[in-house]
A and B are shown apart, each in its own frame.
Chain A
Amino acid sequence: MNTYVLLSVIDIVLLIAGLAIYLFIVGGQLAGVAEKLEECSDLVRQISKNAEPIVAGVSHINRTGGIVAGALPLLYGMAEGIVVGVTPRAEEPAERPPNVPAAGRRRSRLHEAVGYNPDATRKAPAHAAK
């Protein structure tokens, strides 16, 4: 019977000691997790504070940029009008002559093609004729 009593006491002591040790370990770990989560909470608050001006600022930039983009075609249209108005133009002649080819009158090569070349025979040197 004494053996049974001893074993029962050992059983109960093991249970209580095991629970105590494990709860101590888990308690320490959970305290560390809680500390880190508090740090995370501070970081989230900081991010939220940092993100507050983003929406207002970006919508402001979008609105102003839209106005600028809409006004630019008007601006360069006006600039083109100024360039056209300022560029000097060549004065037109009072009476327009008929159109002539830029290289003068065209020379036909049909005679040369059939072997008739009166200009060459006329301009041929004297010793060649001999």
Chain B
Amino acid sequence: MNETVLTLTSTQENLWKGAIIGGFVIVLAVAALLTILVVEVRTIDRRVVKVRDSLKAAAHNTADSVLIGQTAEGVEAVLAEGLEHHLFLGRVLGKVRS
């Protein structure tokens, strides 16, 4: 068996060395950028929790809005009663004047 030995020129060695150093730099840059990404996503997570709490409070506040319909019916009843009073006062006023 013939054994093949690869030899590199100094230029090739320098290029390889540069590629390795560049690769490490890129790994560090990717780590830094992904750390920033993780921190930002954590901030988003915290703020989404705040939004959820605000929405829960808003849902709790508007839970009794069904009562507005009942209040409208009550005001309608007040109007009907006021009309009865109007008719009664009209009758009595006519008698008092006569």
Q: Which residues of A contact B (CB under 8 A)?
A: 1, 4, 7-8, 11-12, 14-15, 18-19, 22-23, 25-26, 29-30, 32-33, 36-37, 39-40, 43-44, 46-47, 50-51, 53-54, 56-58, 60-61, 64-65, 67-68, 71-72, 74-75, 78-79, 81-82, 85-86
Contact = CB atoms under 8 A, between A and B. Distances in A.
For the residues of B in contact with A, the DSSP-based class is helix
Contacts of B82: 68, 71-72, 75
Interface in B57-86: 58-59, 62-63, 65-66, 68-69, 71-72, 75-76, 78-79, 82-83, 85-86
A29 B37 CA distance: 11
B38 A25 contact: yes
B62 A8 contact: no
A40 B53 CA distance: 9
20 contacts: A8-B20, A14-B24, A15-B23, A18-B34, A26-B37, A36-B49, A40-B55, A43-B52, A50-B65, A50-B66, A54-B68, A60-B72, A60-B75, A60-B76, A61-B68, A68-B78, A75-B85, A81-B93, A82-B93, A86-B96
B74 to A, nearest CB: 9
Contacts of B62: 47, 50-51, 54
B20 to A, nearest CB: 5
B33 to A, nearest CB: 9
Interface of B: 6, 8, 13, 16-17, 19-20, 23-24, 26-27, 30-31, 34-35, 37-38, 41-42, 44-45, 48-49, 51-52, 55-56, 58-59, 62-63, 65-66, 68-69, 71-72, 75-76, 78-79, 82-83, 85-86, 89-90, 92-93, 96-97
